[in-house]
Amino acid sequence: MRSARTLQQLAAVPRRSLHHRSAGIIGAPFCRGQPRDGVERGPDLIRAAGLLQKLHEQSCAVKDYGNLAFEDVADDEPVGRVKRARAVGSANRRLSEAVRAVKQDGHTSVMLGGDHSLAIGSIHGHSAAVGDLSVVWVDAHADINTPLSSDTGNIHGQPVSYLLHELHAKIPVLPNFSWIKPCVSAKDLVYIGLRDVDPAEHYILKLLGVKVFSMSEVDQLGVARVMEETCDYLSAKVKKPIHLSYDIDAIDPSVTPATGTPVSGGLTYREGLYIAEQVAQTGLLSAVDMVEVNPLRGETDQDVRSTVNMAVDLLLACFGRLREGNHSPDYRLPEP
């Protein structure tokens, strides 16, 4: 016969045991993947909004590895249309090594950007440490232009192309990029939130059969079904560690206006959080990027605050914070 559980024993059973998680935080104050100054301030702003303390308060261990120092690259002339390839290549090489070290130390890696070109190094380093990955890419944009298909030449619109095995033959030689080995399969990639996709990108997504939940699918299915299908899709065969690459511009500009390339019609605050909560609940989240927070793109202090606070709330959700509330497993009610 099963013995009756006390109230406190019942209350102490978490939905999933997330309290043992630890966050290894890397700041990547880098902006050369796109033309606008300010995005390099993201890591310090996100820390200043209390990320580390709030993670501690939800019983998450935190190690801050500080900000990476990126060397200035002289004479970084365009290669074809590709801008600042040498700076982007060398910064990502450094980041890749840093993320690999954080994973080898046993943490869930948290890369604070910086622009989205940093996903190259973050995903590369993550894969170098743990092997095959799933990637959940939450963004208004697909960031999958090849260096040759890109109209702007800004590498923050291209990172996925360097990482996919299937596009390897379409990538030309670029200075400081020779260290990059493709490490993600198209079938292990899911996009959520797309609403500004270039023709070449759309062609690639269809050609490779990439799983995409654009804002149309979010509207049609609702975010709950989108996340159910995302998690089913990613866990259908082998359960791989998840890399969540979260571009703050996935969220609607009414909530996160301080970003370089805002696109209207984005995820609500609640939809954005729900995505992070559900990825965390898989228990497979192994690394997260939080990118494209740019305080100089906000018109008011409130614009910047709202954008930074969203980034913090998303990261807290990644480490198990639930809107229903949380308590640590050893919590005990005070006795009278």
Cite the annotated binding site for Mn(2+) by residue number.
116, 139, 141, 143, 247, 249
CB nearer to Mn ion: pick between 98 and 155: 155
CB nearer to Mn ion: pick between 116 and 240: 116
Neighbours of 325 (CB within 10 A): 6
Q: Which residues contact 270 (CB under 8 A, 6 or more apart)?
A: 223
Residue 37 falls in the annotated catalytic set: no
Residue 143 falls in the annotated catalytic set: yes
Residue 115 falls in the annotated catalytic set: no
Q: Coil, strand or helix: which one is 139?
A: coil
Active-site hit among 40, 107, 116, 166: 116
Please name the residue ranges forming H helices in 27-172.
42-48, 51-57, 85-104, 119-130, 159-163
H or E segment to which residue 314 belongs: helix 301-318
Bridge partner list, 191: 137, 212
CB nearer to Mn ion: pick between 76 and 247: 247
Give me the least distance between CB of 279 and Mn ion, in Å please.
17
Q: How far apart are CA 104 and CA 19, in angstroms?
A: 20
Residue 205 corresponds to which tokens in the numbers above?
């997504």
Active-site hit among 40, 139, 196, 313: 139
Give me the least distance between CB of 7 and Mn ion, in Å please.
46
Give me the least distance between CB of 128 and Mn ion, in Å please.
22
Alpha-carbon distances of 180 from 57, 63, 144, 258, 317, rounded to whole Å: 38, 27, 16, 31, 31
Bridge partner list, 267: 251
What is the contact surface with Mn ion in residues (CB under 5 A)? 116, 139, 143, 247
- In 3D, which of 244, 242, 269, 243 has the Cα closest to residue 256? 269
Residue 292 falls in the annotated catalytic set: yes
Give me the least distance between CB of 139 and Mn ion, in Å please.
4
H or E segment to which residue 47 belongs: helix 42-48
CB nearer to Mn ion: pick between 139 and 201: 139
* Active-site annotation, residues: 116, 139, 141, 143, 156, 247, 249, 292
